């Protein structure tokens, strides 16, 4: 029985451990946080695929270094980060609560008021490390749409499971799921 | 009465809004997340000041882009991120609970088991966006020390309030506090 999956993005290869997330399913665990090398490689590869836009928008925490690196490559001095809760520094925060279709878990995402104002009427790209069930992406899209932004692309390093068949996202590599045999 | 503070790091200037955090105190709100430009500038300036080390270690979420950028400049393919809770992907996580001296609030920081193993016996630099009361830094230091790492430097973009007088940290600029007049 396999216990790891070998992922290659451009010139970077990682052996991802398989972890059980239920009695029926293992997933390949891809930890982007701290992996500067794979982020730099993936950002360089995805930058060429992205359409013109005013801002990149991601959600904390795992999307942050990837959004940072892509923003740099696209010559954008800033990107927007949706937080998972209202923070003390925020002014008139915009909050979206989205219930996961698959898990029924409620997810909260928050934009600081000035960031929401900045996005109004702008063309934006949603960016994340992995798109899997699509729940996180849907929550982020609900939030930026409420802020008045137009989503012109949805991008990720990896599309996991069924997400690989979506034609409304841009990604670099597929990440399979590993059902129990 | 002033309602903003002008911060300059190298060639980048930001006007930080002052926000009340109690009836007696305003702080200058510095939001590093999303500000690729100031992160790149600050990373370039602090890199030269850092001693040799095996790893940079930061805590989610605000320290992440800064650690990413400094790691790149130092030629380190990876850095370590302590999370604020145990995550599904973690294997034998190492958890530190530290109570804030100033607020009595308990803070939890977590290292994934393989990351903790990686840090054992290594020389590491703690890195964050702002050092203020020092509570977050203390929690992070407790965690990496438990993992068996040796802290050779503590670095931040900014030292806020009394932290500016510390001689055990490296930082680029001071950030004043603004008590009610």
Contact residues, chain A, for B76 at CB < 8 Å: 36
Q: What is the ipTM of this complex?
A: 0.90
Span B124-135, average pLDDT: 94
**Residue B107 has what pLDDT?**
84
Indicate yes or no: CB of A91 within 8 angstroms of CB of B17.
yes
B10 at A interface, C-beta within 8 A: no
Span B167-178, average pLDDT: 97
**Residue A116 has what pLDDT?**
97
Q: Residues B17-69: pLDDT tens digits?
A: 998 888 999 999 998 999 999 999 999 999 999 999 999 999 999 999 999 99
Contact residues, chain B, for A76 at CB < 8 Å: 36
Exposure letters B13-51 (e unless 16+ CB within 10 A, then b): ebebbbbeeeeeebbbbbbbbbbbbbbbbbbebbeeebe
Closest CA to B15 of B34, B25, B2, B1: B2
Band (pLDDT 50/70/90 cuts) for residue B90 is confident
Report whether pLDDT(B1) > 60.
Answer: no
Indicate yes or no: CB of A77 within 8 angstroms of CB of B37.
yes
Question: Residue A36 is nearest to which of B17, B29, B72, comparing CB atoms?
Answer: B72
Residue of B nearest to A22 (CA): B88
**Residue B69 has what pLDDT?**
97
**Residue A143 has what pLDDT?**
96
Q: Residues B134-156: pLDDT tens digits?
A: 989 999 999 999 999 999 999 99
Given a cut of 50, the residues of chain A with pLDDT beneath it are none
Q: Which of residues 122-181 of B touch A (CB under 8 A)?
A: none
Q: Residues A52-104: pLDDT tens digits?
A: 999 999 999 999 999 999 999 999 999 999 999 998 788 899 999 887 666 67
Span B155-175, average pLDDT: 97
Question: Residue B36 is nearest to which of A21, A76, A112, comparing CB atoms?
Answer: A76
B91 at A interface, C-beta within 8 A: yes
């Amino acid at each position: 029985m396999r216990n790891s999956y070998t992922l290659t993005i451009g010139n970077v290869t990682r052996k991802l451990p398989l972890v059980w997330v239920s009695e029926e399913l293992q997933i390949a665990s891809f930890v982007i946080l701290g992996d500067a090398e794979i982020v730099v490689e993936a950002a360089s590869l995805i930058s060429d695929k992205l359409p013109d836009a005013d801002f990149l928008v991601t959600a904390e925490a795992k999307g942050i270094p990837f959004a940072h690196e892509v923003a740099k490559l696209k010559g954008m001095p800033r990107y927007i980060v949706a937080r998972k809760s209202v923070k003390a520094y925020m002014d008139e925060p915009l909050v979206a609560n989205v219930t996961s279709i698959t898990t029924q878990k409620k997810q909260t995402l928050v934009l600081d008021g000035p960031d929401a104002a900045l996005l109004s009427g702008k063309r934006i790209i949603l960016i994340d490390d992995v798109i899997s069930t699509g729940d996180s992406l849907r929550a982020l899209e609900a939030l930026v749409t409420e802020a008045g932004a137009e989503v012109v692309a949805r991008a990720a390093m990896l599309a996991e499971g069924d997400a690989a068949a979506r034609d409304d996202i841009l990604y670099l590599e597929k990440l399979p799921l590993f059902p129990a045999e």
